């Protein structure tokens, strides 16, 4: 079973920031938080991952709470192409372990 | 980059035939690859973990004799669906571990339709 909880759906206006929450209250000390997204009929796309510090890359920012029990993925200026299902997954670093996908959050960016 | 390709992108076959799907890591070597399956309106489910040069590890409930996995090189893993049936129709997705970037990258998926 997935170790994360996400809202099933969210809406966001184009050009605004999209903040996607994720709860992972049972995360272990050596587990990372990974975010992927899946646009319809495509394979998942890696977005970002982190351990306890906030992370930022060209796609998004990841904010992890101090107790590491929850995190937020931020898309700073959402576009229509960001409409997708976003998956928050916890797992060990390295990518050698299987990723357990939950149901994710369906983000719809509206014009 | 971290590009993973799959071939074919879609395939239609008759019941009882076998179908081979290739997964390649284009710009990195992958000692470990994973095969997932996704049915409509559902999330991805891991089928098996493929390690280069050794036998694949299958998840509970996945028939290893039906879904043959070969990982003969550091850039190629293949999944063969043997004696396919309509219930095997699904979206098959592979991922590859990029050691340098310490995460997994996914292929674009292969849609299989068994008639």
Block means of pLDDT (10 residues each) for chain A, 111 residues, are: 90 97 92 94 93 93 96 97 96 75 95 95
* C-beta atoms surrounding B47 within 10 Å: 25
CA–CA min distance B107, chain A (Å)? 6
β-bridge partners, B106: B95
> What distance in Å separates residue B39's CA from the closest CA in chain A?
11
**pLDDT the model gives residue A30:** 85
**Confidence bin at B99 (pLDDT 50/70/90):** confident
| DSSP-derived secondary structure letter, B44 | -
**Biggest alpha carbon distance in chain A?**
40
- Tell me the residues of chain B between 61 and 90 that have a Cβ less than 8 Å away from chain A: none
**Cβ pair A43:B4 closer than 8 A:** yes
- pLDDT band of B72, cuts 50, 70, 90: confident
Q: Is A93 in CB contact (< 8 Å) with chain B?
A: yes
Q: Does the beta carbon of B13 lie under 8 angstroms from any beta carbon of chain A?
A: no
């Amino acid at each position: 079973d997935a170790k994360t909880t996400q809202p099933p759906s969210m809406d966001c206006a184009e050009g605004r920031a999209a903040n996607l929450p994720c709860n992972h209250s049972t995360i272990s000390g050596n587990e990372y938080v990974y975010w992927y997204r899946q646009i319809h009929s495509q394979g998942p796309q890696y977005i970002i991952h982190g351990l306890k510090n906030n992370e930022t890359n060209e796609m998004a920012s990841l904010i992890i709470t101090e107790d590491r029990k929850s995190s937020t993925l931020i898309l700073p200026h959402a576009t229509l192409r960001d409409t997708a299902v976003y998956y928050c997954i916890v797992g060990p670093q390295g990518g050698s372990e299987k990723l357990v996908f939950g149901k994710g959050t369906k983000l719809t960016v509206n014009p | 980059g971290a590009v993973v390709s799959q071939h074919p992108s879609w395939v239609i076959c008759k019941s009882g035939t076998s179908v081979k799907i290739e997964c390649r890591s284009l710009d990195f070597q992958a000692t470990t690859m994973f095969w997932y399956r996704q049915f409509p309106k559902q999330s991805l489910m891991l089928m098996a973990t493929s390690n280069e040069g050794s036998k694949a590890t299958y998840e509970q409930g996945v028939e290893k004799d039906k879904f043959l996995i070969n990982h003969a090189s550091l850039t190629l893993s293949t999944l063969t669906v043997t004696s396919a049936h309509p219930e095997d129709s699904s979206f098959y997705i592979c991922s590859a571990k990029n050691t340098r970037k310490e995460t997994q990258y996914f292929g674009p998926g292969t849609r299989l339709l068994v008639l």
